[in-house]
A and B are shown apart, each in its own frame.
Chain A
Amino acid sequence: MEITLVQGLLLSLLAFICSLDQQAEVFLIFRPIVVCFFSGIILGDVQLGLSAGAVAELAYLGLLTIGGTVPPNPLIAGIMTVVISYTSGVSAEAALGLSLPFALLGQWIGMILSTVYSGLMPIADRICERGDVAALGRLVILSAIGKSLVTAVIIFLSAYLIQEPITALVEKFPEWLIHGFRVAGNLLPGVGLALLLKVMLKIDNVAYLFIGFLIATYIEMGNVLPIAILAVCITFLSYINSRDQKAYDGGVDDDGI
């Protein structure tokens, strides 16, 4: 079945709202199980929305944003699974597979935006130096709206205007360019860590940087909690040592030697 202009606009409005939540990861209405349901309502086929939601949610359940890496976009995958099944009449399972190019496109654009948004940080720094609370608020909100608008446009183009050319485009996209942004995304947190070290690193504690690094390199662990506990233990021991040392020195003084 054909998608009407109104349906296309409503789908992109849905994408806009859910994309705000996808960035914030607060209410989880960007998950396929929810967006498929609402896409089904917009297209007048709630049944399809429910079955597509079940299929897509299970497929994307293993894919979470962890440590700054972005999986194929579950929001775009959810909407496009319903749209493709609705327009072409294929099953939800088959439509999920066909939605992958769109989810990948969403992932790439998300990566590129998160890379480019690094360029906003100096602006944020200047705003903080002025103590301008309202300006920081504007920057935060506008940057979120920017990402959401991009998602809304992708959905409008994909669902209503040019579904087939987009699939073809994704298949022809130069791999090296996408890979280049992935490489940059893997390296850029280094700038943030270097800026942290700029304020934290002192000659007294430089050894601990290497201790933390070596432990994390040689011992596989799910998170850095063990390292944090170890750091607390080390500082506690050195506190006790310095206290005992003081008591010992004090004792010597008391004896009048």
Chain B
Amino acid sequence: MMTVSRNKLTKKDITNMGWLSMVLQFGFNYERMQAMGFCYTMAPYFKKIYGDNTEEVAAAMTNNIDFFNTEMHMATFLNGLILSLEEAGEDRELIRNIKNGLFGPLAGLGDAIFWFTLLPISAAIAVSLNRQNSILGPIVFMVIHFFGAISRIPLGHLGYNLGTNAIDLIRENAASITKAAGVLGVMVVGALIPSYIDFSFPETFVIFDVVPVQGIFDTVLPNILPLGFVLFLYYLVSKKNVNAVKLIFGIIVVSIILSYFGIM
């Protein structure tokens, strides 16, 4: 591998990256969810690492524009981790596999902390203050969530430091880690298929007047339709090189037509 000159990121860079990571969900869409914001959070720091070497900046950006969806604070943690690996010149396939393997599990962790614990508790406190006609209700709520919001900055540092400290360990075992991260990523994607994709026919869609179509598929294997759908799309994008835009608009048009006829 050709060595490229790299600039070091400072502590302040990681703090600024933490602030920038607040744009994570800007440009959110159903195809790749948070990909755009996630990539943009790191892009200015790729540029700092590689300077005028636009080719390397482009390669790092392209490596991070895949499907991505996690809890927002955890995304900042991953941003920090990826920046440290990129700065150390780790193999991009390794980086990509680590990212794809971790975003799902981290989402569960972040949701549990911020959305199932902090939000309900802060809302309960604020609502009780509102009921006493105190303007402290909304103010307390905003203060709590201001700190909740900036807690992503230390999480970004945590990810960066973790990557930096573990870099030798990662390098020595690069081959096994790349393989392990690949297994992790593919297995997590397999597990995401049933939860992210809902491909089912309504009970009202029957053949021979009485047999519900969905029941037939469920008897064979539950979620066989989402699985088959993803494998079919995989076939189209990787073997037939079908353009993703055509795929998206095709799916929208077909969905609306099927909905009109009551088939889905």
Contact = CB atoms under 8 A, between A and B. Distances in A.
A235 B23 contact: no
Interface in A23-63: 23-29, 31, 33-34, 36-38, 46-47, 50-51, 53-54, 57-58, 61
A128 B58 contact: yes
A222 interface: yes
B204 to A, nearest CB: 12
Central interface residue in B56, B65, B100, by most chain A CB within 10 Å: B65
Interface string A98-137: 0000000000000000111111111011011111010011
Interface of A is mostly: helix
B141 interface: yes
B193 A191 contact: no
B198 interface: yes
A5 interface: no
Interface residues of B, number: 113
A146 B176 CA distance: 45
Given A209-B190, A228-B101, A231-B183, A23 B28 contact: yes
B256 A187 contact: no
Contacts of A225: 104-105, 108-109
Interface string B54-91: 11111101100111010010000000000000000000
Interface of A: 23-29, 31, 33-34, 36-38, 46-47, 50-51, 53-54, 57-58, 61, 64, 66-68, 114-122, 124-125, 127-131, 133, 136-137, 139-141, 143-144, 176-177, 179-181, 183-202, 204-206, 208-218, 222-225, 227-232, 234-236, 239
Interface of B: 22-33, 35-37, 39-40, 43-44, 46-47, 54-59, 61-62, 65-67, 69, 72, 96-97, 100-102, 104-105, 107-109, 111, 115, 119-120, 123, 126-127, 130-131, 133-135, 137-138, 141-142, 145-146, 148-149, 176, 179-180, 182-199, 221-223, 226-227, 229-230, 233-234, 236-238, 243-245, 247-249, 251-252, 255-260, 262, 264
6 contacts: A117-B28, A121-B36, A180-B252, A191-B247, A228-B188, A231-B180
The 8 A-B pairs of least Cβ separation, nearest first, read A223-B108, A212-B190, A192-B67, A131-B58, A180-B256, A180-B259, A188-B30, A194-B233
